[in-house]
Amino acid sequence: MYPFGYQRIDTPQALKAAQQRQRGEADKAVSYLAGGTTLLDLMKLGTLAPAEILDINGLAHDYGDISWADDELRLGALVRMSAAADHPRIRSDFPVIAQSLDLAASPQIRNMASLGGNVLQRTRCNYFRQTGWTACNKRQPGSGCAAMEGVNRKHAILGVSDHCIAAYPGDFGQALVALEARVDILGFHGTRTLPFHQLHLAPGSEPERETVLLPGELITGFHVPIGPWTRRSLYLKIRDRESYEFALVSAAVAMHLDDNVIRDVRIALGGVATKPWRAHEAEQQLIGRRPDLPAFEAASKVAFAAAVTRPGNRYKVDLGQQTLTRALLQLAEMEV
Ligand SMILES: Cc1cc2nc3c(=O)[nH]c(=O)nc-3n(C[C@H](O)[C@H](O)[C@H](O)COP(=O)(O)OP(=O)(O)OC[C@H]3O[C@@H](n4cnc5c(N)ncnc54)[C@H](O)[C@@H]3O)c2cc1C
Ligand code: SF4
């Protein structure tokens, strides 16, 4: 480990002062610390080396609540993964959210980790995490990408670029994308709210830029609209082992089924893309159709039509199609 600064932020005023200070020191790497289950890991590996850490856990009284309005669920960024996963009303009214959190990491990590930190976790690409590898455009812009010709079995096939094929590793992000959630962001100049799907960036030519967050901006919470599709929703996660493992492929799906006709459907894919991935074209195929196997198989093919594969991850096209078909079948059969 190396020496770094540490400050605990307990009030919005202290946060604002810290954000103002960061504006004056734009070249200094400052990181917020929530549960620390990503940040400390990467600092110990030497992948990240912030000069200063701002511990935001003292802001839990401002950003640590789960609450409801008539038309939406509100989740503070400092809500712990386990608190949201275990919440009875989230389990019944937003199963896809509860399941995406429940199937992630381990009970110990879920007790520590926050929702804000979860959506900002970094890729598990080993060439990024292990600094012994010199070619990683995400860690060292312009250095190349060792994964392109290396071990890429777990890498992305959607949203990739010639500069990076790292998969987005989280689960909860897919649920937020499928449900068209919004995210609140607090910066020095005040709060802005974005559709959650705009938070993450595909790698393009700048894989080091993973989100639209500006230096010093803090995620404070999420709004998830309540709709006729939220109760009929689920998260299906396929992985190498049944617990404590990241997704090879996952599907967050939600459907409004009325009179045995699909009135609306939401599909987001995980494990296969560089960011939480909405499958709009597949959704369009299904609206107005009966919920049957041929319709689901056809839509699943469409969802992966744009895949760009390598020998190591080619299997993800078949696995992804089968996973999505299975998720949609389970969804159609759900009792709500
Ligand atoms: C062994 C292991 C297995 C795992 N398996 C899974 C899995 O299967 N699925 C899954 O989804 N996740 C998995 N994870 C990842 C885990 O869920 C994340 O590490 C965790 O959610 C991060 O939350 P945190 O509060 O600990 O974030 P931290 O480590 O505190 O922060 C993560 C990043 O976000 C920034 N940050 C934190 N909060 C904010 C905020 N409010 N605003 C702005 N920036 C912020 C930090 O500066 C840091 O860069 C696993 C982790 C481990 C170690
Ligand atoms: S896939 Fe991305 S993160 Fe992995 S080595 Fe290539 S540039 Fe780095």
Q: How far, in Å, is the centroid of ligand 2 from the Cα of 99?
A: 29
Contact indicator for 231, 93 with CB cutoff of 8 Å: yes
For the domain covering 5-59, report its CATH number.
3.30.43
Which residue CA neighbors atom 32 of ligand 1 most closely?
A: 117
For the CA of 235, the nearest ligand: 1
Residue 125, ligand 2, Cβ within 6 A: yes
Phi, psi of 10 (to 5 degrees): -110, -15
**Mutate which of 134, 136, 208, 313 to test ligand 2's pocket (most atoms within 8 Å of Cβ)?**
136
3-class secondary structure per residue, the chain:
CCCCEEEECCCHHHHHHHHHHHHHCCCCCEEEECCCCCHHHHHHHCCCCCCEEEECHHHHHHHCCEEECCCEEEEECCCEHHHHHHCHHHHHHCHHHHHHHHCCCCHHHHHHCEHHHHHCCCCCCHHHHCCCCCCECCCCCCCCECCCCCCCCCCCCECCCCCCCCCCCCCHHHHHHHCCCEEEEEECCEEEEEEHHHCECCCCCCCCCCECCCCCCEEEEEEEECCCCCCCEEEEEECCCCCCCCCCEEEEEEEEEECCEEEEEEEEEECCECCCEECHHHHHHHCCCCCCHHHHHHHHHHHCCCCCCCHHHCHHHHHHHHHHHHHHHHHHHCCC
Which residue CA neighbors atom 2 of ligand 2 most closely?
A: 164
**What is the spatial distance between Cα 315 and Cα 331, in angstroms, rounded to a whole number?**
24
The separation between CA 228 and the C-alpha centre of its own chain, rounded to angstroms, equals 23
pLDDT score at 291:
98
pLDDT score at 2:
87
Contact indicator for 54, 18 with CB cutoff of 8 Å: yes
pLDDT score at 49:
95
pLDDT score at 186:
97
pLDDT score at 24:
76
Beta bridge partners of 76: 221
Q: What predicted TM-score, i.e. pTM, was given to this entire model? A: 0.98
Q: How far, in Å, is the centroid of ligand 1 from the Cα of 210?
A: 14
pLDDT score at 300:
98
Residue 136, ligand 2, Cβ within 6 A: yes
Closest ligand 2 atom to 127 CA: 5
Q: How far, in Å, is the centroid of ligand 2 from the Cα of 77?
A: 28
Q: How far apart are the first and last CA of the chain?
A: 51
Which residue CA neighbors atom 6 of ligand 1 most closely?
A: 105
Closest ligand 2 atom to 139 CA: 8
* Tokens found for residue 238: 């396929």
Question: Could you tell me the residue ranges of all domains in the chain?
Answer: 5-59
pLDDT score at 188:
86
Would you write out the chain's pLDDT as a tens digit for each of its 336 residues? 789 999 999 999 999 999 888 877 777 789 999 999 999 999 999 999 999 999 999 999 999 999 999 999 999 999 999 999 999 999 999 999 999 999 999 999 999 999 999 999 999 999 999 999 999 999 999 999 999 999 999 999 999 999 999 999 999 999 999 999 999 999 988 999 999 999 999 999 999 999 999 999 999 999 999 999 999 999 999 999 999 999 999 999 999 999 999 999 999 999 999 999 999 999 999 999 999 999 999 999 999 999 999 999 999 999 999 999 999 999 999 999
Spatial strand order in the sheet of 182-187:
66-68, 72-76, 218-225, 182-187, 190-195
pLDDT score at 206:
98
Q: Which residues line ligand 1 (CB under 6 A)?
A: 31-39, 41, 77, 81, 104-105, 109, 112-114, 116-118, 120-121, 170-172, 218-219, 246
Residue 173, ligand 2, Cβ within 6 A: no
Q: How far, in Å, is the centroid of ligand 1 from the Cα of 256?
A: 31
Radius of gyration of the CA atoms of the chain, in A: 20
The three-point CA angle 203-197-232 to 5° equals 130
For 36, counting Cβ atoms within 10 Å of its Cβ (0-12 exposed, 13-18 middle, 19+ buried), the class is middle
The amino acid at 120: L
Residue 168, ligand 2, Cβ within 6 A: no
